[in-house]
A and B are shown apart, each in its own frame.
Chain A
């Protein structure tokens, strides 16, 4: 299981004269199996998620996942960390459903027969096997998010980071995604605005204006977040 260590991280964006601190004084160590992240829009939680697979490198400080520094070992980190974006359209890179699931496997040099079998199995697991040859972008929102999740899971990451995966979905599809995520063996970091999804989580982080302002059990952290937003 990867251990996430974030040491004295500060992240700043923008040019001189218009610089904005997105994350500051972030120092945390995460080894729980289910970790939730909440915060207002612009609080820095999505940047935090992107730090975990090296999509964003901190301006200062270091992020280490499974013993690999995201700055010096980005590839090693990304091989272990799967990432799901809010908008699945941004994540689907191949024209058809099966081809998109196969994409990550092809990059890892698997042979064709093995890839086909793995893709079939993975699509069956999430109930999309009947859509294997369909254009990926003709799917419904829920199906697209399931596809995005499936395409990440098929590469068997040790850590899964989900950046608001249910924000664009209706209640039924959001519940389906939550159900799939709940059954995963992987360590999960879930960024969300749907606080009820975090009830069974081990730990919840609350961000506000780029700072970690609460770090507690779901009940206590959500209460702190609600008080903050009141």
Chain B
């Protein structure tokens, strides 16, 4: 767009700096509080001696299960991301590459849109009943299955959009050279779709890591994930503010890491469909 000049540019930069400060500021403030003793939080001190005792307490004290919650979250997010990438990429490839009857492809994609739209809370009632019947209630397996399903629509749409950019001629050339459908997919298309896999993988991992309402209702103490544990810190009768701040910061870490590592991919994934 047409750039700003002179005084307008200075005002523009000031407003942008203000917006960035308003977004980043609260993170810095809670980080500062996570380094304070409870007393320093109560007095609202700006000058204090930083301490890591809150992080130590949250992660390693005997009264806290938080390290266990981190382990649960990493298992659920890791396994569900792997599964959704396999299932979602295969489905996206099938819909993109092969000729399906219109009622199947439209019906399938339409249902993913409907499922993505309806509140997950409405399905939690039936999930609760069925998982209890199957003996899967309060297991990481139930959480993995539901997280895979939750991330499936996004993964399929994202992979289809990336697959569209890969020229079909490459596979056709491979067929001439004697490739078969599966080998062409494995050795050619999948390799070229790696940026899409990274984008979908990062987003699926983050969405699973931060998912709250399913984890809240299908787990108990032993299987709770990080967001559920963080919420417990905030819901106690006597809120331990310092530990709550530390737990919230730990819950934020994967987002910060992936934001710096995969920014390009994340932006494309999040803004998908809006630009075209």
Question: Is B one of A's binding partners?
Answer: no
